[in-house]
Amino acid sequence: MLLTGAEIVIRCLQEEKVEFVFGYPGGSVLYIYDELFKQDKFKHVLVRHEQAAVHAADAYSRSSNKIGVCLVTSGPGVTNAVTGIATAYMDSIPLVVITGQVPTAYIGQDAFQEADTVGITRPCVKHNFLVKNVKDLAETMKKAFYLAQTGRPGPVLVDIPKDITTHKCEFAYPKSISMRSYNPVVKGHAGQIKKAMQLLLDAKRPMVYTGGGVILSNAAESLTKLVRTLGFPITNTLMGLGAYPATDKQFLGMLGMHGTVEANMAMQHCDVLLAIGARFDDRVIGNPEHFNEESRKIIHIDIDPSSISKRVKVDVPIVGNVADVLDDLQKQLATAQSHSDPKALAAWWQKIAEWRGKNCLKYKESNDVIMPQFVVEKLFEVTGGDAFVASDVGQHQMWAAQYYKFDKPRRWINSGGLGTMGFGLPAAMGICFANPGATVACVTGEASIQMCIQELSTCKQYRLPIKIINLNNRYLGMVRQWQEMFHGNRYAESYIDALPDFVKLAEAYGHVGMQITKPQDVGPALHKAFTEHKNDLVFLDFITDQTANVFPMVAAGKGLSQMILAEDL
Amino acid sequence: MRHIISILLENEAGALSRVSGLFSARAFNIESLTVAPTEDASLSRMTIVSVGSDDVIEQITKQLNKLIDVVKVVDLSEAPHIERELMLVKVRAIGKDREEMKRVADIFRGRIIDVTESTYVIELTGNTAKIDAFIEAIDRSLILEAVRTGICGIGRGDRILKV
Ligand SMILES: Cc1ncc(C[n+]2csc(CCOP(=O)(O)OP(=O)(O)O)c2C)c(N)n1
Residue A396's SS3 state is: helix
Closest CA to A98 of A33, A19, A178: A33
Concerning whether A331 is annotated as a catalytic residue, the answer is no
At residue A285, the pLDDT reads 94
Q: Using the 8-state DSSP alphabet, how is residue A189 labeled? A: P
User: Would you say B87 and B147 are in contact if contact means Cβ atoms under 8 Å apart?
Assistant: yes
Q: Which one-letter amino acid corresponds to residue A205? A: R
DSSP A441-507: EEEEETTGGGGSTTHHHHHHHTT---EEEEEE-SB-HHHHHHHHHHSTT--TT-B--S---HHHHHH
Report percent pLDDT > 70 for chain B.
100
How would you write the pLDDT of chain A (569 residues) with one tens digit per residue?
A: 899 999 999 999 999 999 999 999 999 999 999 999 999 999 999 999 999 999 999 999 999 999 999 999 999 999 999 999 999 999 999 999 999 999 999 999 999 999 999 999 999 999 999 999 999 999 999 999 999 999 999 999 999 999 999 999 999 999 999 999 999 999 999 999 999 999 999 999 999 999 999 999 999 999 999 999 999 999 999 999 999 999 999 999 999 999 999 999 999 999 999 999 999 999 999 999 999 999 999 999 999 999 999 999 999 999 999 999 999 999 999 998 888 999 999 999 999 999 999 999 999 999 999 999 999 999 999 999 999 999 999 999 999 999 999 999 999 999 999 999 999 999 999 999 999 999 999 999 999 999 999 999 999 999 999 999 999 999 999 999 999 999 999 999 999 889 999 999 999 999 999 999 999 999 999 999 999 999 999 999 999 999 999 999 999 999 999 999 998 76
- Burial class (CB within 10 angstroms; exposed 0-12, middle 13-18, buried 19+) of A419: middle
Q: Which of B23, B53, B66 to mutate to test the interface with A (most CBs of A within 10 A)?
A: B66
Measured in whole angstroms, the distance separating CA A308 from the mean position of its chain's CA atoms is 21
Q: Which of A150, A300, A306 to mutate to test the interface with B (most CBs of B within 10 A)?
A: A306
Residue B99's SS3 state is: helix
Give residue-wise pLDDT tens across range B11-26.
999 999 999 999 999 9
Beta bridge partners, A249, equal none
What's the whole-model pTM score? 0.97
Instruction: Give the residues surrounding ligand 1 with Cβ less than 6 Å away.
Output: A 392-396, 419-422, 445-448, 471, 473, 475-479
At residue A558, the pLDDT reads 95
For residue A450, what are the contacts with CB-CB under 8 A and spacing of at least 6? Answer: A500
Q: Name the catalytic one among A39, A113, A332, A454.
A: A113
> At A362, which helix (H) or strand (E)?
none
User: Would you say A433 and A45 are in contact if contact means Cβ atoms under 8 Å apart?
Assistant: yes
**CB–CB of A122 and B13 under 8 A?**
no
**CB–CB of B65 and A179 under 8 A?**
no
User: Would you say A55 and A84 are in contact if contact means Cβ atoms under 8 Å apart?
Assistant: yes
At residue A496, the pLDDT reads 87
Answer whether residue B5 shows pLDDT above 90: yes
> At A193, which helix (H) or strand (E)?
helix A190-202
Mutate to test the pocket of ligand 1, among A478, A502, A550 (most ligand atoms within 8 A of CB): A478
Answer whether residue B159 shows pLDDT above 80: yes
| B7 neighbourhood in chain A, CB within 8 Å | none
At residue A338, the pLDDT reads 86
Residue B142's SS3 state is: helix
Give residue-wise pLDDT tens across range B81-110.
999 999 999 999 999 999 999 999 999 999
Q: How many CB atoms lie within 10 A of CB A226?
A: 22
Rounded distance from Cα A400 to ligand 1 centre (Å): 15
CA distances from A464 to A367, A510, A537 (A): 33, 12, 6
Cα distance between residue A162 and residue A9, in whole Å = 12
At residue A567, the pLDDT reads 80
Residue B150's SS3 state is: coil
Q: In this complex, which of A180, A305, A313 lies closest to B62 when CB atoms are compared?
A: A305
At residue A569, the pLDDT reads 66
Q: In this complex, which of B21, B59, B71 lies closest to A122 when CB atoms are compared?
A: B21
At residue A568, the pLDDT reads 77
Cα distance between residue A387 and residue A380, in whole Å = 8
- Burial class (CB within 10 angstroms; exposed 0-12, middle 13-18, buried 19+) of A301: buried
Closest CA to A443 of A461, A421, A469, A467: A469
Give the A window 166-195 contacts with B, CB below 8 Å.
179-182
